[in-house]
Chains A and B, each alone.
Chain A
């Protein structure tokens, strides 16, 4: 199991807006092992979707640029691939499910054809054979194959998301990136889709990156979780480590801010004071320092380094750094 499938190293992605440069992703490190599901959790504008798009090299340029870093997929750096090579990877070895199933399907092509299209693009099969595989895919995601010739508008939101999942899995990808796949759906439908994704992930032996803002969804489906704040991974570890031995003050704040569905009702909810930093004006030092209740003097001065709490549990916070090393680092800045 310990084979690394995807390794993102020190990724920096920036967007130019007017004459300002914004680092949407800043020194991002993520590792996904084979067969594993990694959750990316963060609030709006944290850089979750940008990271996903960078993996597929789908950052619109201009205004976006992958400034530095490496993305190793099966030990090959995706960032040094030619566009023609990338096209063979997208939808084939790595595929993506987008948040909104309403807009990610072509409204004037039948759903069967949309699944067959991706099969024909990546596999040398006849049109008829692609149609047969597409029918099988429909059945696997729980849609009767009789609906092959129907158009997206004839399906409900949950059913459309099933079609999108069928397209994404049609070529048996090694990595599936799901960007908020259930956010637009109701809870009972969300439960259906999550169960389906979990089952298919095991059947197809696919690794998965699950982008979500919902810590509950991540707890259900992920093995590991990366908490993202202002373009950085501030905490990374197994779901158990992060949920039970929460280390980073931001992660702690996120958990405390969710109203509970059991236990005593609180009089007031905990909240993290302040707002996400303006991406054009990220504070010096730790980006969370202006909102942090356990802030140290050093936090405003120099950026924290990754510290391992245990073998698999990593946190980017000064509270966990060894004091002496910290001073050295600060001076070398």
Chain B
């Protein structure tokens, strides 16, 4: 499969009165057509900002995003407008991402008309009906308003709207975290079916590790604007190496009563992303931190077999001794 998207050292900094906030600080990854990369992290780690910067919804401060070989960070005006046909986004909150004064059909029609996907009223109507059927919205909801629908159906509208342009790449920013479990699985199944059928690549942003495991091929774990570990799903869940990833995985409450795990409780909370110094950003909370960690920023490096870790002591951790 050819590489569809190549992100190279993308950065997004915000100016604040207290200094420069490094929301995303040099993130790189590649994504093939029809595959999913999961972006995991806690609130404030920059995962949503990354998603927005990748599709140029907000301009990146630095780095490149090569989409089908072209650097789209420089796109403006008309180019950017037509880029939206290839890149779409599904938002977290189906309650605030839909215009409350538009009906279901109007919401889905808007991108079709805007990008002239179909012309002629009958073709447009037909397309809307096909899209509604694809995402499992009953045709009686054609004239319904978003407030009349439950969260799951609203999220289906959001998906239909993104699909209307037949994109190759969709950024999904916490698409199921506002939904109940029984509805969540319906939406996840739908997204997987669509991926298989249309070969869409997903960037799946979430804080829910069980969801990301189900959906992704590769996973990148973010902490304070940087990727601390990146590898295939199976590797991450079986032989994760970064101390943060270990703590994160051990924190998930399990429904399996027999599964006794040693929980790693992290000290303190996420530190400030404003003006970070030359240190490992996780050092202050890390159980293995040494002087070196407070003096030198570890770089994300491949320790073998497509397993990237940003930790000075990745090899030691791999061998099982403490750093």
Contacts and interface: CB of A to CB of B under 8 A. Distances in A.
Interface of A: 43-44, 156, 158-159, 186-192, 194-195, 213-217, 219-220, 239-240, 243-244, 253-255, 257-262, 265-266, 268-272, 275-276
Contacts of B188: 259, 269
A43 B181 contact: yes
Question: Which of B182, B210, B248: most chain A CB closer than 10 A?
Answer: B182
Chain B binding surface SS class? helix
30 contacts: A44-B180, A156-B269, A186-B42, A186-B43, A186-B270, A187-B42, A187-B207, A188-B248, A188-B266, A189-B269, A190-B251, A191-B251, A195-B265, A213-B180, A214-B253, A219-B253, A219-B255, A219-B257, A220-B253, A239-B257, A258-B210, A259-B188, A265-B213, A265-B214, A266-B214, A268-B192, A271-B185, A271-B186, A272-B182, A276-B150
B287 interface: no
B255 A243 contact: yes
B82 interface: no
B299 interface: no
Interface of B: 42-43, 150-152, 180-186, 188-189, 192, 207, 209-211, 213-214, 233, 237, 247-257, 259, 263, 265-266, 269-270
A261 B183 contact: no
A192 B265 contact: yes
Given A44-B180, A187-B42, A269 B257 contact: no
Given A187-B42, A268-B192, A271-B189, A217 B269 contact: no
B43 A255 contact: no
Contacts of A217: 253
B150 A216 contact: no
B254 A219 contact: yes
Contacts of A254: 181-182
A280 B185 CA distance: 26
A268 to B, nearest CB: 5
Contact of A259 (B152, B210, B251, B259): B210
Given A187-B42, A216-B252, A243-B257, A260 B182 contact: no
A175 B184 CA distance: 33
A265 B254 CA distance: 16
A215 B213 contact: no
Contacts of B247: 188
B36 to A, nearest CB: 12
Q: Which of A261, A268, A269 gathers the greatest number of chain B CB atoms within 10 Å?
A: A261
Contact of B185 (A190, A257, A275): A257
Contact of A269 (B185, B233, B237, B248): B185
Given A189-B269, A219-B255, 18 more contacts: A43-B181, A156-B269, A187-B42, A188-B251, A188-B266, A190-B253, A191-B250, A191-B263, A191-B265, A216-B253, A243-B255, A253-B182, A257-B185, A258-B210, A258-B255, A259-B214, A262-B237, A271-B186
Contact of A275 (B43, B150, B269): B150
B180 A261 contact: no
A272 B211 CA distance: 17
Nearest to A263: B256
A194 B180 CA distance: 21
Given A43-B181, A253-B182, A257-B181, A269 B214 contact: yes
Nearest to A182: B253
B229 to A, nearest CB: 15
Nearest to B190: A271
A43 B186 contact: no
Contacts of B210: 258-261
Contacts of B209: 187, 261
A254 B211 CA distance: 15
Nearest to B150: A275
Nearest to B247: A188
